[in-house]
Structure 1
Amino acid sequence: MGDVTSTLDPVSTTPRPDRAPGVPPSETRVLPPLQIGPITVDTPVVLAPMAGVTNRAFRTLCREAGASQGFDPGLYVAEMVTSRALVERNVESLRIVTFGDDETPRSAQVYGVDPATVGAAVKIIAGEDRADHVDLNFGCPVPKVTRKGGGAALPWKRQLFTDIVRAAVEAAEPHGVPVTVKMRKGIDDDHLTYLEAGRIAESLGAAAVALHARTAAEHYSGTADWTAIARLKEAVTTVPVLGNGDIWSAEDAVRMVRETGADGVVVGRGCQGRPWLFADLAAAFHGAETRVRPGLREVADTIYRHGELMIDYFDGDEGKGMRDLRKHMAWYLKGYAVGGETRHALAMVSTLAELRERLDALDLTLGYPGEDAEGPRGRAGSPKQPHLPYGWLDSRDLDAEFEARLREAELSVSGG
């Protein structure tokens, strides 16, 4: 994966120590292993589910990077699957919860607004041995979700939130599958729900709670409020609390856990176009200073392998695989001096041969560009008024009319 800041090569087959010579592991590890129900995650790092991004191909790259440092990798969550689509046996939804033979543990995320449908979806995942862990989505801020009362809007209706978490935990429990909850601080600063929701989830048997330390109104703008993670950690005391938001480097992750007391971190946008970030995270949480700093040749090799994996993910459909890969190009090439015309051409590739040709035309002698390749990815946007069902904020309770509308509002499309 290219140059690193130490003398160790992260892709070398030479056995590498996981700690400084003569120093016990307890003195070099930043955190102990993460325990999610019966699942032990040696590196307390979770890949956040991202629609259209964290399919099996990208998870493979992240998992391989995390394992390249000689440590057991973290937990890699698939794209969100909607409960209704899964219950209806939608082909794409079933693809999302189909994992590779080397994926252990298998982790799926479910979204829904109706307790019965969510419970049925979790029963399919757990009962048919489709995943080892289920995460519930209460953090999505996008309008198509919140305007139906889902995602980050849903915990405002405390009884509905309670009923959904209970239904999921009860459906998964007979099969030994832990259920976790991922959420935001709330709808906006005047409608915060995370402390109450965290306590409810804990009391109902959720195996962990994760907080993206922004409100739905903030979307991805501004700076994540890590102090909220610390407050949640104080409120939830019997299960792990994970922190999410503004982790762009291994150093950010270590700083978050030290400042908040979190039991682990959830990484989303920071790894887009940088699957090797999981190599850095694995090293950092085990007390090693190795960091991956790939030159353009290593980046090009990763892009090509990503393309191959995408085609395999779509059952050999080269066109579909390449189209899905296009969105990743700007992230991969961030900071590298390749020129706008070349970036555009790579974002339009339609075949693997064309991808190879365009990658080979790059100046593959270029080294790592430093900070220009790091930091935020994509568009953070600006704060915006959340789209909510009419009258949603009038009461914390869910009346019969809203309940009926929610059942009809279950999304039928999963993933991107």
Structure 2
Amino acid sequence: MTLDVPVVLAPMAGITNTAYRRLCAEYGAGLYVSEMITSRALVERTRESMRLIRFHPSETTRSVQLYGVDPATVEAAVTMLREEDRADHVDLNFGCPVPKVTRKGGGSALPWKLDLFRDIVERAVRAAGPLPLTVKMRKGIDADHLTYLEAGRIAEGVGVASIALHARTAAEFYSGHADWSAIARLKEAVTDVPVLGNGDIWSAEDAVRMMAETGCDGVVVGRGCLGRPWLFGDLAAAFGSGERPPLPSLGDVARAFRRHAELLVDFFGDDPDGGMHRGCRDIRKHVAWYFKGYGVGGALRAQLAQVESLEQLDGLLAQLDHDQPYPGEAAEGQRGRAGTPKSPALPDRWLESRTLDTAGREHLAGAELDSSGG
């Protein structure tokens, strides 16, 4: 798989559905990955998991991220995607720091068990066949239990197409600053496949600087694009693929927000509650991100966060000063909740061994029982 620019949209639960992927692609170039999908839910073909692997015809590269802890289930999910021609690329999630995931031994806790990690990745690569299969992971569980170098070498050895590293531990969640030096160390350790860096890319300049400082082959952008789909236009220009777009006025932001809402209504069109209801409810959480730093009154922001129809949304957006220029630094920097460092939730006695014992297998047995699809 060859990308026009070395940029990947990071999978984000509740964010990177078809609507947002299409919107980002309208502004720039790169690889746009689905929300994280639970392998068991996909194998069981739950309604929500099947919705999450639905791609619009304009999405020429169908990229799916899977989460799983059972090698056989992950293998079956990858096989399904390949045999039914539902994906062009599969990514495996070993980076999620959420307690309900790590408590069961999944996400960023899983690579601690080297045998389990190897088994999952090796079987997934084999099941993917000609489809490129990649992995995304974190530095480790905490500063005393790092896993990324060993996991990176294992993944390289069993034939993954690339490795992405979020340069934080699970304990750090999204707090503090990403340790870009870890990306450089992984790049030195893994020499046969591309290494992608993730963490604290808030601008195109950050992406260029990360590649220059670490030697990584590309970047994965997550929270930095929340409410800023045009960041992918900036990134494309920074990597030499087109002219850099002008800084967005409030009118530009309003049009992007409206387009996002429209795409969400379309995406949820077959929902039992109705596409208009689900789409407008979903766009509400994006209000603070889109209008960060712009002069939008609190009362209007509150109304936007309670919008119920596109018609109502149009009326509210018409009240904005569309000529208001880009506010500069106030609109830049960190987005999304950073959280605070904390001891990761782990299965009992998880850290006592690097291999999976009987007790560990019992913990994993319930890790994929949530079949919500994400």
The answer, yes or no, to whether TM exceeds 0.5 is: yes
Equivalent of 1:305 in 229, 246, 259: 259
Q: What residue is the counterpart of 2:367 in the other structure?
A: 409
Which runs of no fewer than 5 residues in structure 1 stay unpaired? 1-38, 67-72
Q: CA deviation at 1:364?
A: 1.6
2:95 and 2:166 in contact (8 A); partners too:
yes
Q: CA deviation at 1:365?
A: 1.9
Separation of aligned partners in 2, 1:122 and 1:199:
22
Q: CA deviation at 1:413?
A: 3.5
Equivalent of 1:126 in 82, 85, 90: 82
Deviation readout 1:213-247 (Å, 9 max, x if unpaired): 00000000000000000000000000000000000
Separation of aligned partners in 2, 1:409 and 1:217:
19
Q: Which range is displaced more, 397-406 or 346-355?
A: 397-406
Q: What residue is the counterpart of 1:344 in the other structure?
A: 302
Q: Given the alignment of the two structures, is residue 359 of structure 1 paired with residue 317 of structure 2, yes or no?
A: yes
Which runs of no fewer than 5 residues in structure 2 stay unpaired? none
Q: CA deviation at 1:272?
A: 0.3
Q: What residue is the counterpart of 2:142 in the other structure?
A: 188
Separation of aligned partners in 2, 1:169 and 1:243:
21
Q: What residue is the counterpart of 2:197 in the other structure?
A: 243
Q: CA deviation at 1:379?
A: 1.8
Separation of aligned partners in 1, 2:371 and 2:235:
33
Q: Given the alignment of the two structures, is residue 62 of structure 1 paired with residue 24 of structure 2, yes or no?
A: yes
Separation of aligned partners in 1, 2:189 and 2:357:
29
Q: Given the alignment of the two structures, is residue 322 of structure 1 paired with residue 283 of structure 2, yes or no?
A: no
Q: CA deviation at 1:403?
A: 1.3
Q: What residue is the counterpart of 2:221 in the other structure?
A: 267
Q: CA RMSD in A?
A: 1.2
Q: CA deviation at 1:345?
A: 1.1
Equivalent of 2:207 in 241, 246, 253: 253
Q: Given the alignment of the two structures, is residue 135 of structure 1 paired with residue 81 of structure 2, yes or no?
A: no
Q: Given the alignment of the two structures, is residue 167 of structure 1 paired with residue 129 of structure 2, yes or no?
A: no
Q: What residue is the counterpart of 1:285 in the other structure?
A: 239
Instruction: Give the structure-1-normalised TM-score.
Output: 0.87
Separation of aligned partners in 2, 1:248 and 1:401:
41
The amino acid that maps onto 2:345 is H
Q: Secondary structure at the match of 1:186?
A: strand
Q: CA deviation at 1:312?
A: 0.5
The amino acid that maps onto 1:408 is G
The amino acid that maps onto 1:389 is P
1:276 and 1:292 in contact (8 A); partners too:
no
Q: What residue is the counterpart of 2:47 in the other structure?
A: 91
Equivalent of 2:185 in 207, 231, 237: 231
Change (3 A) 1:292 1:143: farther
1:107 and 1:131 in contact (8 A); partners too:
yes
Separation of aligned partners in 2, 1:414 and 1:204:
30
1:112 and 1:411 in contact (8 A); partners too:
no
Separation of aligned partners in 2, 1:126 and 1:404:
30
2:36 and 2:64 in contact (8 A); partners too:
yes
Q: CA deviation at 1:407?
A: 2.5
Q: CA deviation at 1:340?
A: 1.6
2:347 and 2:363 in contact (8 A); partners too:
no
Q: What residue is the counterpart of 2:38 in the other structure?
A: 82
Percent identical across equivalent pairs?
67
Separation of aligned partners in 1, 2:176 and 2:257:
30
Change (3 A) 1:353 1:287: closer
Q: Secondary structure at the match of 2:193?
A: coil
Q: CA deviation at 1:382?
A: 1.1
Q: Given the alignment of the two structures, is residue 105 of structure 1 paired with residue 61 of structure 2, yes or no?
A: yes
Separation of aligned partners in 1, 2:366 and 2:249:
50
Separation of aligned partners in 1, 2:105 and 2:369:
11
2:94 and 2:110 in contact (8 A); partners too:
yes
Q: CA deviation at 1:404?
A: 3.4
1:311 and 1:322 in contact (8 A); partners too:
yes
Q: Given the alignment of the two structures, is residue 213 of structure 1 paired with residue 170 of structure 2, yes or no?
A: no
Deviation readout 1:352-410 (Å, 9 max, x if unpaired): 11111111111222111111111111221111111111111111111123213313321
Q: Given the alignment of the two structures, is residue 157 of structure 1 paired with residue 113 of structure 2, yes or no?
A: yes
Size of the aligned set, in residue pairs, is 370
Separation of aligned partners in 1, 2:212 and 2:323:
38
The amino acid that maps onto 2:357 is D
1:280 and 1:292 in contact (8 A); partners too:
no
Separation of aligned partners in 2, 1:372 and 1:228:
30
Separation of aligned partners in 2, 1:101 and 1:379:
33
Q: What residue is the counterpart of 2:10 in the other structure?
A: 48
Q: Secondary structure at the match of 2:149?
A: helix
Separation of aligned partners in 1, 2:373 and 2:221:
18
The amino acid that maps onto 2:8 is V
Q: Secondary structure at the match of 1:46?
A: strand
The amino acid that maps onto 1:281 is L
Separation of aligned partners in 1, 2:45 and 2:342:
35
